[in-house]
Structure 1
Amino acid sequence: MNLDADYVIVGAGTAGCVLANRLSADPSIRVLLLEAGGSDRHPYVQAPVGFLKTFQDPRFNWCFSTAPGDGVDGRSIFFPRGRLLGGSSSINGHLYVRGQARDFDTWAQLGNRGWSHEDVLPYFRRAEDRSGGADAYHGAGGPQHVSDIHERHPICEAFLDGAESLGVPRNPDYNGARQEGVAYYQRTIRNGKRHSAASGFLHPIRHRPNLEVVTGAAVDQILFDGKRAVGLRLRQHGAALTATARREVILAAGAVGSPHLLQVSGIGDPDHLRGIGVEVRHALPSVGRGLQDHYAVRVVHRVTRPITLNERARGPRLLWEIGKWLATGTGLLAFSPAHVGAFLRSTDDLDDPDLQFVFTPASYSDGVVGQLQRVPGMTLGVWQMRPHSTGHVRALSADVTDAPEIQPNYLTDPADQHAIVQGLKWCRRLFASDALAAFRGPETLPGADIRTDDELLAFARAKGATVYHAVSTCRMGTDPDAVVDPDLRVRGLVGLRVVDASVMPTMVSANTNAATMMIAEKASDLILNNTPQP
């Protein structure tokens, strides 16, 4: 069986949903969107708190793991990636964080003309439907709804007061003129339900006759005619299919999926490809290299009163919360995992924040997001926003169904080690503020016996985990090592683009979903403007 379209998109995650929407807006263009996973209609996906369930559920998640890392005591770390309509935007923590203007200006300074903050801000605004309305930094009426928290917990209010007492400014809009400060997080939640890229960009336009969405479609290989990508080989429910692209094949499979598919299709480091039995079609050694990710460590305290989310998540109280959510779209089930955020500098000589914090009036049995504890608790996590450590995504065989090796090399750079220790010290300073004294019980993680910098670093190595913000494995640039050019075309090939977080030249100072959305918005214009292939 053969499918065909002008543009064939691999992956219905954040970027794929945006592209499907914008490209199919022209009724003369036929778009085919392929997704290996299935529907996003499950209640676990729709309820924001369902994040705790989808996080490790193979129905919605590729459930990868990293290769053992020297910087994390030889541990292999669980590495979730979305596997359903909406991709990781359907299983993420809902936080809407764009980054700093310097992030995008750096992209432009590296040779990527058209990607400065001034250039990309209109695409952030075009995508957005901000609940507070439009202004110079925010859009209204766009496909992606962005809301404020519906309930301000007393411990969160105390946390904001405590941060302010330490000289941390309150910042009503960290996605505005400046990022530094403490604030409630902006969230991709609408009327108490997850508002993923599928919710905003895909479902409202699935009726378009020129758009075909195929789920359960696992792509095996990119097909070529010489140097031109002409289609894809895929499987659906055991049947072999071919998808023909009259204009372009667009990879939007993410920072793991896109480089992996390129490699098994013969595009990558020739020596590596030959070593795993893949015929080399096009030498592009940087495919899969440069992986960066955010590595988070958490500090946990007991709370002296039974007022945390832990108590609301069990017994009759949970049944009441479920009913409240069904009736009003509020309550426990409508929360994102993190309520309050802070953006701080690890050292005073930095011009901009390099640490991001996530605070919640809840605690988890393993210190990482998962099962809520049965005693009152509160958690503050931190990660370095612009890590120096880099790694790779590497195919291990010619079979795309074999998971690739994912090696982020967390905490292998001394700058990252220093920043995470300073971040943990900031966590303790914030918890020790007088404003939290009425709620603060003993520190349970890392614990009072962990005191020195070396002990804090050892704790970070042993207990940290990914925030699943993988980027840069198909890096954009104009230098010989770049995988795609500033128009996101794979260098040296025709009719093939990559449009997802893998093209980021450097990590953004933020969660990555908002920037990925922006990339796809800009890419849709690049594609529709039909920039000539060099």
Structure 2
Amino acid sequence: MGNIFDYVIVGGGSAGSVVAGRLTEDPQVTVCVLEAGGSGSEPVINVPTGAVAMLPTKLNNWAFETVPQPGLGGRRGYQPRGRALGGSSAINAMVYIRGHRNDYDDWAARGNVGWSYDDVLPYFRLSEHNERLDNAWHGRDGPLWVSDLRSDNPFQARYLEAARQAGLPLTDDFNGAEQEGVGIYQVTQKHGERWSAARAYLLPHIGRRDNLSVKTHAHVQRILFEGNRAVGVEMLQGGQLHTVLARREVVMAAGAFQTPQLLMLSGIGPSHELDRLGIQTRAHLPGVGQNLQDHPDFIFGYRARSLDTMGVSIGGGLRMLKAIRRFRRERRGALTSNFAEGGGFLKTRAGLAMPDVQLHFVVALVDDHARSFHLGHGLSCHVCLLRPRSHGSVTLQSNNAQEAPLIDPAFFQDPQDLEDMVAGFKLTRRLMQAPALAAWITKDVFTANVNTDDEIREVLRQRTDTVYHPVGTCRMGNDAHAVVDPQLRVRGLQGLRIVDASVMPTLIGGNTNAPTIMIAEKAVDMMRGRSRVQPVLQEVRSMSTQLKVDALEEARHVFS
């Protein structure tokens, strides 16, 4: 196909894989995907526990760091991002979460027509192949497999029993009628293997669709323009610069950090930021790189007296040998674990309209993103703040695309975020101290002597970091600081669209991979100019109405 295509997609991650796979269903449309990483198909990716080798290292991982964070005592945070086909869906914990209905209704209320919950739910269903759930909220025919965990770990039941003992609600579906509750996560796996966006949408078609070209180890340097129209990109591959041209559109899908970086390197962004590095402004868009939002996260860690937890010991090594054999035979057991097997969406105080904290219950002792190892076995539990008030930014370190951008999530910049995390800390500790879990714990590693609110604030500043959900740096909207319109087209330019987590106006209440895939599914319809789904599911609307009626009846009963 040479170097001219209908669409050039920058980034073969969660969004780029979806867009490329869907567009090339039409044999008349040619697509080129440019991915800076590798093939996304090696065993360390496909075996779920391989994430422990990638998360703390540069294996398939950009392994970014933040600028020093005043709210975290001046520490630099860690920001792993996937660097392979599949992007962060190739290295993440595979947790399938969509967020809360209100998140998307808020997007629409901000002027983003077509992005309400009823508008986006059909795209979630279109993407999904759920092994267990088949109802108005879930799909069974999509390419993205969503499955129950196959680790068979007994701590799942112990975790749920602890939640009962702590008086917390339970749920078996965080993505159904009601998000609130404690439960076991469903994961993006197929038959016990990681099912990244690339495995779902892209890898099956490489070499089989003549209209699809995928170039790996191709690092895009800048977007090329004729006047105000994007016509291609310049990319570095094998030490040489190449030009790849687009007849219709250049689609930016490089993520919340590198999409704004590449826009600014191409002269699109705040003019004062571009002037600082001698970059000529092509389009003054002050919102590029601003509005960075991420979930601040704290992890409780405990030593445990059970080989059912992951860890380093002679007994654990022998069990792992058995687990390897079982994985080869059955694709079940410990090697299928995503580590963060349980979770929860909870309210830290009465009267909240929706959960404000999320938990990830981990069957291992986690310290510093798995970069610090502890001998023995243990448990952990994350608690993150779902809608932080603090917003940060992504700016340029230099005018060299090979250098990482400056990432500033501004954790705890707003003091109320710290106070909300204190409430989340107390709630999570109550769960972990319930008898069903406390019976197995031999040592509280990080918080044993933390009791007062001031002590909680101090340990939060010492140990809080990301839970890997950066969004919002090229947000959609209609105001002067919006970067794309609700059709995801870059404002003031032609032939340039952004399709990744950077377009989210606000951070959703949950993990961001499934919403990114949804955004890409919806973007494909926008690019084609036709819809594959009904705008509103009448069945869900009826269910939603009934839920509201039930809630009113319950309220009348309580107050009568």
Q: TM-score range by the shorter chain?
A: over 0.9
Partner Cα distance (2:43, 2:262) in 1: 31
Shift of 1:358: 0.7
* 1:26 alignment counterpart: 26
CA drift of 1:141 comes to 1.7
In structure 1, give the amino acid aligned to 2:513.
N
In 2, distance between residues paired with 1:31 and 1:359? 40
> 2:466 & 2:501 partners in 1: Cα distance?
16
| Match for residue 354 of structure 1 among 343, 349, 356 | 356
Asked if the contact 1:300–1:380 (Cα under 8 Å) also holds between the matched residues in 2, the reply is yes
In the alignment, the residues of structure 2 paired with residue 389 and residue 86 of structure 1 have an alpha-carbon distance, to the nearest angstrom, of 29
Residue 311 of structure 1 deviates from its aligned partner by 5.8
Classify the secondary structure of the residue corresponding to 1:479: coil
Q: Which residue does the alignment assign to 1:15?
A: 15
Q: Give the deviation of 1:152 after TM superposition.
A: 4.0
Q: C-alpha distance in 2, partners of 1:292/1:489?
A: 21
Amino acid at match of 1:463: R
Code of the aligned partner of 2:487:
D
Post-superposition, which runs of at least 4 consecutive aligned residues in structure 1 deviate over 6 A? Answer: none
Q: In the alignment, residue 34 of structure 1 is paired with which amino acid?
A: L
**What's 2:521 paired with?**
521
Question: 1:305 deviation in Å?
Answer: 4.1
* CA displacement 1:358-384 (0-9 Å, x = unmatched): 1123213x3543465322321111000
**2:495 aligns to what?**
495
Rounded to whole Å, the distance in 1 between the matches of 2:331 and 2:129 is 19
User: 1 CA distance for matches of 2:152 and 2:324?
Assistant: 19
Alpha-carbon separation, structure 2, partners of 1:469 and 1:174: 18
The Cα offsets for residues 369-403 of structure 1, whole Å up to 9 and x where unpaired, read as 34653223211110001111111110122111111
Identical-residue share of aligned pairs (%): 44
Letter in 1 for 2:231: V
CA RMSD of aligned residues (A): 1.6
What is the correspondence of 1:150-189 to structure 2 with a 5 Å cutoff?
Answer: 150-189=150-189
Shift of residue 530, structure 1, vs aligned partner: 8.0
- Which is further off, 176-185 or 148-157? 148-157
1:121-143 Cα shifts (integer Å, max 9, x gaps): 00000000000143100001211
**Aligned equivalents of 1:498, 1:251: Cα separation in 2:** 5
The equivalences for 1:62-77 within 5 A come to: 62-77=62-77
Report deviation, 1:304. 3.6
Aligned residue type for 2:31: V
Alpha-carbon distance between aligned partners in 1 of 2:495 and 2:364, rounded to the nearest angstrom:
49
* Secondary structure at 1:339 match in 2: strand
8 Å contact kept, 1:362–1:372: no
Deviation at 1:37, TM superposition (A): 0.8
Which residue number corresponds to residue 55 of structure 2?
Answer: 55
Match of 2:485 in 1: 485
1:414: Cα distance to partner?
Answer: 1.8
Aligned-partner Cα distance in 1 for 2:392–2:272 = 18
CA distance in structure 1 between the aligned counterparts of 2:152 and 2:453, rounded to whole angstroms:
34
**Corresponding residue for residue 251 of structure 2:** 250
Work out whether residues 300 and 379 of structure 1, in 8 Å CA contact, stay in contact via their aligned partners in 2.
Answer: yes
- 1:227 Cα deviation after fit: 0.6
Helix, strand or coil: the match of 1:77?
strand
SS where residue 278 of structure 1 aligns?
A: coil
CA distance in 1, matches of 2:387, 2:52: 26
> Which residue number corresponds to residue 427 of structure 1?
428
Runs (5+) with no aligned partner, structure 1: none
User: C-alpha displacement at 1:2, in angstroms?
Assistant: 6.0
Q: Name 1:292's counterpart in structure 2.
A: 293
- Distance in 1 separating the partners of 2:175 and 2:151: 21
**Cα distance per residue 1:269-308 (max 9 Å; x no partner):** 1111011111111110110001011121111222244442
The verdict on how the C-alpha distance between 1:368 and 1:236 changes in structure 2, with shifts beyond 3 A counting, is closer
1:360 and 1:15 map into 2 onto residues whose CA distance is 27
- Equivalent residue of 1:416, what SS? helix
Listed as ranges, the matches of 1:194-343 within 5 Å are: 194-206=194-206, 207-310=208-311, 314-343=316-345
Letter paired with 1:337: F
Counterpart Cα distance in 1 of 2:176 and 2:145: 17
Equivalent position SS for 1:376: strand
